[in-house]
Amino acid sequence: MVTPMYEPFQQQPPNLVNQYADDRVLRSFLHRVLPAAVLAQVAPELMTMGDRAGGELYRLQLADRRNEPTLTQWNAWGERVDEIELSPLWRRAAHLAAEYGLVALPYEQTYGPTSRLIQFALAYLFHPSTDVYTCPLAMSDGAARTLLRAGDPALIERALPRLTSRDPARCWTSGQWMTELSGGSDVGRSETIARPAPDGSWRLYGRKWFSSATTGQIALALARPDGGAPGARGLTLFYVELRDADGRLQGIQVNRLKDKLGTRKVPTAELHLEGAPARLVGALAGGVRAIVPMLQVTRIWNSVMAAATMRRGIALARDYARRRIAFDVPLSRQPLHVETLAALQTEFEGAFHLSFLVAGLLGADEVGTADEQQTRLLRVLPSVAKLTTGRQVVEVLSEVIEAFGGAGYVEDTGLPALLRDAHVLPIWEGTTNVLALDTLRALAQPGTWEAIIGLAAHTSAGIADPELAAAGRQACAALAHARRWFDAAGARPQLERGARRLALTIGRSLELALLIAHAAWSLAQERDGRARIAAVRFARSPIDLIADDDHDDLALADDQPLPVG
């Protein structure tokens, strides 16, 4: 036997435990907002989901790292088949998502207005271990709400029981076909044409440039009835069943799967529609308005999944910091590393509270208990929350990668995928800028500013702790400044130019107000000071981003000459 000359150092990988049991922020929030009887009822489900997320699914995710969806366009006998095979992790995720009712929960309404919170709490635990399987879930949820809102009894009867089924064998998922080569943000440039068929249905012709749920059974698609008005007002919303009774795509070809930076498990495809059978959803015009419920729901999913992604990155970085020794001390006791992780946790907690606030608004709206203020908030906050958390998640995950040093940059740790997957969150369902412009439109509606400022004032009122109270005044002052700037901005180009700073100021001010409210509750009810530190720390980060400047942006953005003097 050969005696080793030295004991080689062996680095321990980061480890995850039960992701529900380990998540102070989620548990504390649910403790505050759910009636005790409801929490007791759903806690076992949250516990098993947390166990899977930190155990079975996380292990499968690491093992599945190299697997990606594959497209087979032709079978051995020369027939065009366009079959997409999903990775093992996604097949398992589909099964579990149906069983846990990740789409079904808010439609079953077992827990009234809190059904949405329970659904999103489960999805938040599920998301980071399933490589963005929440993408088809979000769209299916959005499709269910859109069909209900449109109110066509035949479509509701056909699709709703399947979209919301808990039986994995019966459950459907839906896609959303908006983006075309000619425009994603500007869907008014869509070229897909709808032609009436003799049986009263329609046929769609065109190209859809990003279709992320091509393995789903249905899609909601925008198209222009032949000869219809140009621009967005000429678009109509259609319901498409992708396959015939034998499972063959009907009038649809999959040209290729996208080769993407991240979301590599999501089978995002380019589609060619060659007479795909479709049915009208709602009225002949007004398709963009008809698809608003879909966007509202998917933007809320996006926000919650941004919070979930941040939480996963931090959980891994926190565990690793306890295992990694540098300069004879674990990273978890190196003051500067600790400060870095604390800053990430602070951003995550702000994002968590904003995204779950919006989820709660949706729940209240669905059961008809939303008051006027909540209804106004639900019009504006899905965009604000999506754009705010979308920027936060990219910054947080970038720092998470660095927190692992070189290991964070190495593929078989599974870590780089976290950052890549995070980077889709500010892009799809509306980019940061496009949602900032959307926020301007919502702010122009009467009562919107009052609802936002009222929320911050009410949330941070009556706080005894002097530092929290000061932070509350800071949140309200930032919103008041934002409103003054909005009222004074005047011309459209000036307003648009500042729209991102405006929307982010609203998002960050509300995050601060919500952190304060939760901190006060947690101090009093849980005797825990951690939420307070998060709120106070967050108050020291940039909240008011309004800039009353007037630089010539074209000089830099388009490198236009700028003569001096």
Ligand X SMILES: Cc1cc2nc3c(=O)[nH]c(=O)nc-3n(C[C@H](O)[C@H](O)[C@H](O)COP(=O)(O)OP(=O)(O)OC[C@H]3O[C@@H](n4cnc5c(N)ncnc54)[C@H](O)[C@@H]3O)c2cc1C
With CB under 6 A as the contact rule, the residue among 176, 302, 389, 505 that binds ligand X is 176
174 binds ligand X (CB under 6 A): no
- Rounded least distance, CB 178 to ligand X, Å: 3
Query: Rounded to whole angstroms, how far apart are CA atoms 352 and 83?
Result: 38
What's the distance, CA 164 to chain centroid? 20
Nearer residue to ligand X within complex by CB, 177 or 538? 177
- Rounded least distance, CB 383 to ligand X, Å: 13
Query: Rounded to whole angstroms, how far apart are CA atoms 540 and 542?
Result: 7
382 binds ligand X (CB under 6 A): no
185 binds ligand X (CB under 6 A): yes
- Rounded least distance, CB 142 to ligand X, Å: 11
**Phi and psi (nearest 5°) for 474?**
-65, -45
For tokens 């075309």, what's the residue?
A: 180
- Rounded least distance, CB 493 to ligand X, Å: 11
- Rounded least distance, CB 72 to ligand X, Å: 21
> Pairing between strand 236-241 and 218-225?
antiparallel
29 binds ligand X (CB under 6 A): no
- Please check whether residue 172 is in contact with residue 140, taking contact to mean a CB–CB distance below 8 angstroms: yes
| End-to-end CA, the chain | 84
- Rounded least distance, CB 440 to ligand X, Å: 11
Query: Rounded to whole angstroms, how far apart are CA atoms 273 and 205?
Result: 5
178 binds ligand X (CB under 6 A): yes
Please list every residue from 428 through 447 that binds ligand X, using CB under 6 A: 428, 430-431, 433-434, 437
255 binds ligand X (CB under 6 A): no
Query: E strands along 140-248, which residues?
Result: 174-177, 193-196, 202-211, 218-225, 236-241
156 binds ligand X (CB under 6 A): no
210 binds ligand X (CB under 6 A): yes
- Rounded least distance, CB 176 to ligand X, Å: 5
What's the distance, CA 37 to chain centroid? 29
With CB under 6 A as the contact rule, the residue among 97, 163, 424, 531 that binds ligand X is 424
With CB under 6 A as the contact rule, the residue among 114, 134, 217, 268 that binds ligand X is 268
Query: Rounded to whole angstroms, how far apart are CA atoms 416 and 323?
Result: 20
- Rounded least distance, CB 271 to ligand X, Å: 10
Work out the number of other CB atoms within 10 angstroms of the CB of residue 523.
18
184 binds ligand X (CB under 6 A): yes
Query: E strands along 464-539, which residues?
Result: none
From the list 104, 98, 93, the residue with the least C-alpha distance to 53 is: 93
Question: Which residue number has the CB closest to ligand X?
Answer: 184
475 binds ligand X (CB under 6 A): no
With CB under 6 A as the contact rule, the residue among 149, 162, 207, 260 that binds ligand X is 260
With CB under 6 A as the contact rule, the residue among 87, 179, 190, 355 that binds ligand X is 179
Angle between helices 372-403 and 335-366 in degrees, nearest 10:
150
With CB under 6 A as the contact rule, the residue among 81, 156, 427, 533 that binds ligand X is 427
Query: E strands along 269-405, which residues?
Result: 269-280, 325-326, 329-330
Nearer residue to ligand X within complex by CB, 439 or 474? 439
**Which three-class secondary structure state does DSSP give residue 68?**
coil
Interface with ligand X (CB under 6 A) = 175-179, 183-186, 210-212, 260, 263, 268, 424, 427-428, 430-431, 433-434, 437
